[in-house]
A and B are shown apart, each in its own frame.
Chain A
Amino acid sequence: MRKLILAAAALAAFPAMAQTPASGGGDTGGGIVRAAKPVTGEQVYVQVCQACHMADAKGGAGAGTIPALASNPRLAGAAYPIMIVTGGKGAMPGFVGTLSNAQMAEAITYVRTHFGNAYAKPVTEADVAKIAKPPAAGGH
């Protein structure tokens, strides 16, 4: 029940469509894009995280490596993945300002309980809020 209320609050705070204007600087498209907002952890994973970490969460390797999230002992504590997802690491951008705290919490919980990870305790929106820094101004 509590989760339902949280989800409803998240929906109210974040409309179902995210409206993204072209960001300042760089070669980018014109106009705005309205992408459907992912809500559940699985939806966030598939529509965002999977772009780099792959559908099987095994990452990939070329000139550099995108780390596997599958069977990853570094996910045992919640603080580490929260820090990375909110603040970014290397080529990976932080998602504060792009995703809501609730979306990040759902995604982290999903990854920590799937792909060979079994860290049952859910990560909450409040857990994320404690670690997330506000986004910096002036993209690019």
Chain B
Amino acid sequence: MDSGVRAPTRRQLLSAIAKVGGTAALYQAMTTLGHAAETQFHGPPNLSGARPGASVIVLGAGLAGLLAAYELRKAGYKVQVLEFQNRAGGRNWSLRGGDTYTELGGATQKVAFSPGNYLNPGPWRIPHHHRTLLHYCKAFGVALEPFIQFNHSGWIHSSQAFGGKPVRFNAAAADFEGNIAELLAKSVNAKALDDTVTAEDRDKLLEAMKGWGLLDNNYKYSPSLKASSHRGYERPPGGGVDGAPIASKDLYSLHDVLDPQVWTSMGFFMNHEMQTTMFQPVGGMDMIGKGFARQVEGLITYNAKVGKIAQDDKGVTVSWTDAVTGKATDSKADWCVCTIPLGVLGQMDLQVTDEMMAAIKAVPYSGQVKIGLEMKRRFWEEDDYIYGGHSFTDQEIALISYPNNNMFKDGPAVLLGAFARELGAYRLAGMTPEQRIEVALAQGSVIHPESYRKEFASGASVAWSRVPWSLGCCARWNEDTRKQHYQTLVGMDRRIVLAGEHASYVGCWMEGALLSSIDAITRLHKRALEA
């Protein structure tokens, strides 16, 4: 059989394609062979050969700005970064004990968390297919650990089902699937699908419903050890005399499991961006911003409030004020990468086309609210056997998310006591920080009635609609604004190019900021060499 000619392995073939055609060809080939297709990252931009003395001014030291500074300096540009805050990282941010945060309106919180504990007000989890971010984390030595995204033991709470009591995700999901499987099997057996499904497929469908939905021999979803194997037992399997398991008897009714809280919670984990595996940096999300900032040490000017960006044939002039000293400065460069969030940028004096100005002003921002609560002990682990992951509720806090690190440790831990969105977020944002904590405690107590208030030590909240340096959390495009303004927004406006999550289709994610930045600086570099 061995003809002496070996077909190349897929790996050999791909590496040959990469050598000949470069990474773009490799990507194309991988897609054709059924791989990848889950990222537009084709590797770092590898820019080089900037004209001697060419300079770039980068506005904003968030991830998009830091990456632009890092790659452009490597390419040979003279780079200066202006940052409004007194730290780098932008929305990549962690709050720890001893930190002070003042929101718009003046409310100031002094964070009182114990050493090592933190709240990530912005990004907090990284999908495994966000290859750009993962690439640079590795390159810059930022250690990552698993983020426990999907925990079958988390609670689901609906004010309108299950008597308003929280139920375990695994039980609700198993009973949803069991009930649906029973109904579908019933339809098949009642010949309701004879016109649309072949006899062979009807048999296969019945088999599938029985296996997937854990139905009994009569195609009923009934209390059984089989059903318990998904939803949990009344007495789980053990050893010795009482080792035999006892099936759980009180299955949830069809009416209860049809509450949208059940299937939307199940569907949530099927979203491409929410699928496991997910990661977080060891020690807090800002380890990423700090890791990026280390690469461009000395290039960043902090406390710089930009007021005006002008440009002509020769270059760009950025007028800014030092927020500490009040000193006004004009900084000049050949080119500008501007990563300032659009809501802030749109209020500045900008020398850009009318179309660009309209695009900048056309994109509103979301206003999520996050609340961190430090608890004196890990009652979710010790009492409920929940290790990381989330509980979902239809109250304004939307969820409780449990820490993914230091499991089984004694001592205080910080959980995420709210990740509010839309109307729920507006309501929480409108409150004082103290009122927000009170609401988070009241609503969280519905999930953990015994311990929530008893174990509470301190809390901190960030309402993104009141964040002074971003005026919101994430850019929110819709089909109309994408069509009317997106290409203008990402296009080069003479010597200025915008970058950030707002200039991407991966909005609200760090990955979007990085992909946008790579695209922007690649085009800027090309233009600079042509000029």
A90 touches B364 (CB 8 A): yes
Residues of A within 8 A of B (CB): 18-23, 25-35, 46-52, 54-55, 59-66, 88-94, 98, 135-140
> With contacts A26-B509, A55-B430, A91-B364 known, what are 6 further pairs, Cβ within 8 A?
A26-B474, A30-B390, A31-B394, A92-B364, A137-B480, A138-B482
In this complex, what residue of B is CB-closest to A34? B394
Interface hits, B261-275 → A, CB 8 Å? 261, 264-265, 267-269, 273-274
Residues of chain A contacted by B515 (CB below 8 angstroms): none
Q: Tell me the bound Cα distance from A29 to B261 in angstroms.
A: 12
A59 CB to closest chain B CB (Å) equals: 8
Instruction: Tell whether, in the assembled complex, residue B343 and residue A64 are in contact, meaning their CB atoms are under 8 Å apart.
Output: yes
Contact across chains for A30 and B364 when beta carbons are under 8 A apart = no
Which residue on chain B has the smallest CB distance to residue A139?
Answer: B478
Q: B453 contacts the other chain (Cβ, under 8 Å)?
A: no
What are 25 A-B contacts with C-beta separation under 8 Å?
A: A22-B264, A25-B273, A26-B508, A27-B508, A27-B509, A28-B419, A29-B390, A30-B264, A31-B261, A31-B392, A33-B396, A34-B394, A35-B422, A35-B424, A49-B430, A50-B430, A51-B367, A61-B104, A64-B344, A88-B364, A91-B342, A94-B364, A98-B422, A138-B479, A138-B482
- Complex contact B422–A23 (CB within 8 A): yes
Which residue of chain A lies nearest to B509 when distances are taken between CB atoms in the complex? A27
Give chain A nearest CB distance to B236 CB in angstroms. Answer: 27
Looking at A31, A60, A66, the one whose CB has the most chain B CB atoms below 10 A away is A31
**Contacting pair B508 A32 (CB below 8 A):** no
In the bound complex, how far is the Cα of B267 from the Cα of A22, in angstroms?
10
CA distance A32 to B265 in the complex (A): 8
Q: Does B240 contact A (CB under 8 A)?
A: no
Interface residues of B in 92-107 (CB under 8 A from A): 104-106
A140 touches B264 (CB 8 A): no
Contact of B347 among A35, A49, A64, A93 (CB under 8 A): A64
- Give the contact stretch, choosing among B68-76, B220-228, B463-471: B463-471
Given contacts A30-B390, A90-B343, contact A63 B365 (CB under 8 A): no
| Given A48-B430, A62-B104, A140:B261 Cβ within 8 A | no
| CB-based contact B364/A93 at 8 Å | yes
- In the bound complex, how far is the Cα of B480 from the Cα of A140, in angstroms? 11
CB atoms of A33 and B424 under 8 A apart:
yes
Q: Which residue of B lies closest to A138 (CB)?
A: B479
User: Among residues 412 to 439 in chain B, which have CB atoms less than 8 Å away from a CB atom of chain A?
Assistant: 419-427, 429-430
Contacts A26-B508, A32-B264 known; A51 to B429 CB distance under 8 Å? Answer: yes
Interface flag for B319 (CB, 8 Å)? no
Given A28-B421, A91-B343, A137-B478: A33 touches B395 (CB 8 Å cut-off): yes
Contact B398 A63 (CB under 8 A): no
Q: Is B361 on the interface with A (CB-CB < 8 A)?
A: yes
B466 to chain A, nearest CB (A): 7
Q: State how many angstroms separate the Cβ of B326 from the closest Cβ of chain A.
A: 15
| A31 x B423 contact (CB < 8 A) | no
Answer whether residue B393 sits at the interface, using C-beta atoms and an 8 A cutoff. Answer: yes
A51: chain B residues within 8 A (beta carbon)? 367, 425-427, 429-430, 463, 465-466
Cβ contact within 8 Å between B305 and A31: no
Pick the contact of A31: B393, B396, B476 (CB < 8 A). B393
Q: Is there contact, CB below 8 Å, between B265 and A31?
A: yes
Contacts of B480 in A (CB 8 A): 136-137
Smallest CB-CB separation from A29: which chain B residue?
B398
Q: Which residues of A contact B479 (CB under 8 A)?
A: 136-138
| B104 and chain A: residue at smallest CB distance | A60
Residue of B at shortest CB range from A21?
B264
Give the distance in Å from the alpha carbon of A13 to the alpha carbon of B331 in the complex. 56
